[in-house]
Structure 1
């Protein structure tokens, strides 16, 4: 279909009917075939009771018995529906109750048996909302019934019937080859799914090109369709003659775009002194949200992609390069959202004002050119030095409240450029002016939050205490005594201090990455919630990367609504008006700035977008992490048979995990390879201890390991320990607790003979 059931249902609410014509526009159903698909889907959803139809329009009906989740299956056929709500129970789904759903599909499940004791509730799939595998990597085999594709992912428990196409007219030529298969039809009744080959990857996953493997595995779109590129060229021509007279004219400001590697030219700066201690700082953002036509082809494409994947090896843009007029480059006027700030030399904001503006870019400067200019040491770098001084002062203000902005080791690149060190989509390098981008995001989001305006706010929960405590135990065993200020909670100040302390260790790159891995992912929410890494609870959001994230486009559109349609006075009889773009209005406004209809429209839009954008971010991050992991594992693969150093990062009953210091890759030493003794697992102490030799393997122990085998596709490294570990004491052998008290073996702590 041209749309998913999930995207269709996202357009409905229980209190408002929607006409099919409205759905056709929102979903891009502009041809008879897609319109017929929409008609069939609406009819089916009405029949199963998810929609109610009246006078040709539809609305959603509630069914508390149906639970939405994403299906996660094991290679043995055990499947669970994982709910999005944190802490919600996973629902076990038996194989005969999957209703042709696959691993990764988003589904609606009806609970058939409530959970009890330690057993999960059971359920059955009633509806597949969105397929998680529009394509698969598979190996071709020939059977009596024809040619079949066997997925390489052993969690996909099915075969695909292959049909010839223009790329592979004779399927016998690709038997035993690894291929990328596009699914043309999913299972129907007792019939197999049908697919066709989109790309031939070679004889095995170990030798297939890394970029091809990742793009196929995650179904990444490496180029835009001709229709999208044509639409982009058409819009770009229209923008060249766009009338910007209704915007604030800021063309007299000297405005320079600064661009880091992997970033789009979408943020520019102006800087003028007021007096010896204050500056007029301008942060100008490309107004993609105001210029990109809503619900048309380009907008639907950007919404579907969600965000850019940018690495040194691979760049998958959000919008086509033909949209040059959306990029803040010299030559002609540009539409922008401008934030003009009065700021002192200590980095303290005194006031600001938000404009829909018209600007003119005087220069576009890369980070390399910035470094070269500053290296000259002459007056040509004065403007840049002043800007970077302000950026450093702003960063120091944030760090004083606890924001995690300690520069990690060079081997790490786990951060948004504008979101501290939260593990998320990476950009190659945090630039000196990044702090000002974070400032703009903070001010704009806080402005909306204090006015009670709904938007896509950014939130990050506090890390799990037990996960951080495990890391501290690892560091303690490495003779790095780190501790929490308050043993019962984790704070941003703790992380800030840990990052600084670890920077002096010879294992800085490994340990800092392990520490950052304990952070929970940041995500979008329709309410202003705390953000751990940035140490703020007043609201944070993304506005400054509209050419790389759809979230920023949405937030820019909400700013437009505020500035052009917001209620700037209490009521029609009130004489005094306030400027809703000025910081001073936050002390004056005590009324709702959006009308009831506008508020409802924005709320509906956000409720529709939040799950989709969260899922797209998760998928993009997974693809990036997969690419980095594949590149690292292939380096390990070249060293099979060699002995390398590592530290133990996890201990389980079946063995222990070792982080290879030279590669930042984790491998497993399986307990079956420990043949020198009989090892017991103690869960409380997280150790494997030999009965006779008293050799102990625990968190943080240094070991020398032999690289035995590498599966690069699954990114699994098999290791064998050669030396290392530590000697257990009598206290350890007697099961003593951390405070020296003898503990009786409990059900969880009883040693397990291996």
Structure 2
């Protein structure tokens, strides 16, 4: 998912935020980094030296089946998503379309998390049989363990750790990575909520990123903050949820809202303690193109609000072959 960068003034106060966009130069550096990581992993593997790999298991078939049903309901035609290149084609298909955010979110939920482990398992998302973290824009402890092994190899020394020890280190580093990412997301969310808490009533353009029976998830266009337009705040009609087309449709007016609709919304409520944001609908600015009605299938997993939320509560803000093979998917964290 896109990375949100919070903007601060000279006093350290939030003055805005934007989605980070990687340029071609970023992508070139990333390719060099991936090639170096893979080359070092292959060297250690050939030397039969135990090392801390970066592994990414294939998605569970049940999750891929649910993903296939979800995108089919959106009117998208895809092949077998067990093929990683077909999964990449899906991401390319929705790029720039109204369904892009929802599909990217669904794909992310269907994938396993990449972890650190000495087990000889490849990296599914990178289409690599042998991969590790040797170099990157940041220095992690797993990088350091690889540096020590290379240093020992050059000096003629044997490996200083065995598989069991590396497994313990891998579990620890994987858990710390998850905690660090969670802390980063929570801090970004809190800063954005604090910024918006001083701007109740302020209007902004937003895109519908999710539709559920209880309302519309929307994300600001200029300020990438995500919140909820609760169905109870749509007072012009009584709205029902159509799961097959992912729309909220009014009984009398004929109004409906779907993924990708561009709306004008106003900040209605911010709850810093619960990390919740509510928007109020001002107007629809642009209608998303409708997808062709697909055959009826089992519903995909619904996006649920956290337990304990009130009726008018809101959703908070809130990776066999060489790496040079075609089909590597865009990624931010590996």
* TM range, smaller chain: 0.5 to 0.7
Provide TM-score, normalisation by structure 1: 0.32
How many angstroms apart in 1 are the aligned matches of 2:83 and 2:211?
Answer: 23
1:491 maps to which residue?
84
Structure 1 gaps of 5+ residues are 1-207, 212-409, 416-428, 477-481, 567-593
Task: Identify the residue that residue 294 of structure 2 maps to in structure 1.
Answer: 738
The reply to whether residue 722 of structure 1 matches residue 313 of structure 2 is: no
Q: Matches of residues 334-483 of structure 1 in structure 2 within 5 Å?
A: 411-412=19-20, 430=26, 432-462=28-58, 464-465=63-64, 466-467=66-67, 470=70, 483=77
Q: 1:262 maps to which residue?
A: none
Residues 546, 498 of structure 1: CA spacing in aligned structure 2 closer, same or farther, 3 A cutoff? closer
The structure, 1 or 2, with the larger RCO (C-alpha pairs under 8 Å, 6+ apart) is 2
The structure 2 residue matched to 1:527, chosen from 119, 144, 155, is: 119
* CA pair 638-473 structure 1, distance change in 2 beyond 3 A: farther
1:689 CA drift (Å)? 2.4
2:202 alignment partner, one of 642, 657, 676: 642
Structure 2 gap ranges (5+)? 1-10, 303-310, 312-334
CA displacement at 1:613 relative to structure 2: 0.6
Kept in 2: contact 1:646–1:703 (CA 8 A): yes
SS in 1 for 2:162: helix
Aligned CA distance change for structure 1 residues 720 and 547 (closer, same or farther; 3 Å): closer
Q: 1:501 to 1:670 in 2, by over 3 A?
A: closer
Greater gyration radius: 1
SS across alignment from 1:498: helix
**Does structure 1 residue 681 correspond to structure 2 residue 274?**
no
**RMSD, matched Cα:** 4.3
CA distance in 1, matches of 2:166, 2:143: 13
Retained in 2: the 8 A contact 1:528–1:540? Answer: no
Deviation, structure 1 residue 468: 7.3
Which residues in structure 2 correspond to 1:58-457 (within 5 Å)?
Answer: 411-412=19-20, 430=26, 432-457=28-53
Provide the C-alpha distance between the structure 2 equivalents of 1:737 and 1:496, rounded to a whole number of angstroms: 21
- CA spacing shift, 1:468–1:626, aligned 2, 3 Å: farther
Residue equivalent to 2:323:
none
Partner of 1:669: 229
Preserved contact between residue 97 and residue 260 of structure 2 (Cα < 8 Å): no
**Superposition deviation, residue 679 in structure 1:** 2.3
Q: Do the aligned partners of residues 535 and 648 (structure 1) sit closer, same or farther apart at CA in structure 2, a change above 3 Å counting?
A: same
Task: Indicate conservation of the 8 Å contact 2:203/2:265, yes or no.
Answer: yes
Aligned to 1:707: 267
In the alignment of these two chains, the number of paired residues is 277
Cα deviations across residues 155-180 of structure 1 (Å, max 9, x unaligned)?
Answer: xxxxxxxxxxxxxxxxxxxxxxxxxx
> Which of 117, 122, 131 is the aligned partner of 1:540?
131
Distance 2:34 2:169 in 1: 23
- Asked whether the 8 Å contact 1:210–1:630 carries over to 2, the reply is no
